[in-house]
Amino acid sequence: MARTRFLPDRGLTSRMVLVMFLLGLLYVAAMAGLIAAGFDVALVLIIATGFLVAQWFFSDKIALAAMGAHEVSPEDGRMAAELHGVIDRLCALADMPKPRVAIADTDLPNAFATGRNPKKAVVCVTTGLMRKLDTDELRGVLAHELSHVAHRDVAVMTIASFLGVLAGLVARFGMYSGLGRSRDNTAVIFAVVWLGSIAVYVISFMLTRALSRYREFAADRAGAYLTGQPSALASALTKISGDMAQIPTRDLRKAQPAQAFFFAPAAVGKTLGGLLSTHPPTEKRLERLAQVSAELGKPMA
């Protein structure tokens, strides 16, 4: 975690380390399996390294492009000036570097943070969110997003999600390259690599989703402690979650690339008890915020 006044979260740190360790083992095991099967993995390694470097250095640009967002300065209108003002005050309060600021022109009420480190981070807010929330609620959401930056979990999630997908792609690549080299046991190679690909992807997918859900709890808690207004964050969460059902399906689909980084998920419905969700249920987040209110001695409104 970067040195800031955000509340430290050892639970989040330990989970990030554990997930990265397990994904690393999974990735190495997948590569070792392909090598043991006699596949030529040199090209796979080159491609994998290239993708990882691109993801690391351009994840912020990719996320902004997916949302049609653009960076703004305080001189770019009233909305941009208000947004910069709130972020300036929060960064001063948290004693952290100010990230770049971006706005996405969409009715979808949401926000997200991305970037490989605090100095390269960007916080993006939609125009729908700015219109929907009052100043205290906006402050709570932005404190939540800045907590992601301070805890460096944005970078960890970027790598973790990439490694999960890449592990599955590596297995598939090995399958196709191996089919052309071993015609006598094609069926066996196909079955083993195909099943291995599924197992690798499912395990990595579940690990990253579990980490993603916990990091939202951690950001809610850290943001609420920084502002001292958990009720404002709870109010914002309730408003945003309630509005999601009113957003056209096509707009929700456009937002899917940034889903894991959103303040609130751009999707509705429940999936396998939430195991496949990028975010914990709203009810659980509100319960945790109520606990923070009790700890601070400030009852929820």
Q: Which residues are catalytic?
A: 145
- Concatenating the DSSP letter of every residue in the chain gives --SSSSPP-HHHHHHHHHHHHHHHHHHHHHHHHHHHTT---HHHHHHHHHHHHHHHHHHHHHHHHHHTEEE--TTS-HHHHHHHHHHHHHHHHHT-PPPEEEEE--SS--EEEE-SSGGG-EEEEEHHHHHHS-HHHHHHHHHHHHHHHHTTHHHHHHHHHHHHHHHHHHHHHHHHHHHTT--TTHHHHHHHHHHHHHHHHHHHHHHHHHHHHHHHHHHHHHHHHHHT-HHHHHHHHHHHHHHHTTS-HHHHHHTGGGGGGBSS-S--S--GGGTT-SS--HHHHHHHHHHHHHHHT----
CB atoms within 10 A of CB 183: 8
Name, in order, each residue with C-beta under 8 angstroms of 54's C-beta and a sequence gap of 6 or more: none
State both tokens at 206: 């579940």
Burial of 159 (0-12, 13-18, 19+ CB in 10 A): buried
State both tokens at 22: 């397990």
Phi, then psi, of 152 in degrees rounded to 5 = 60, 20
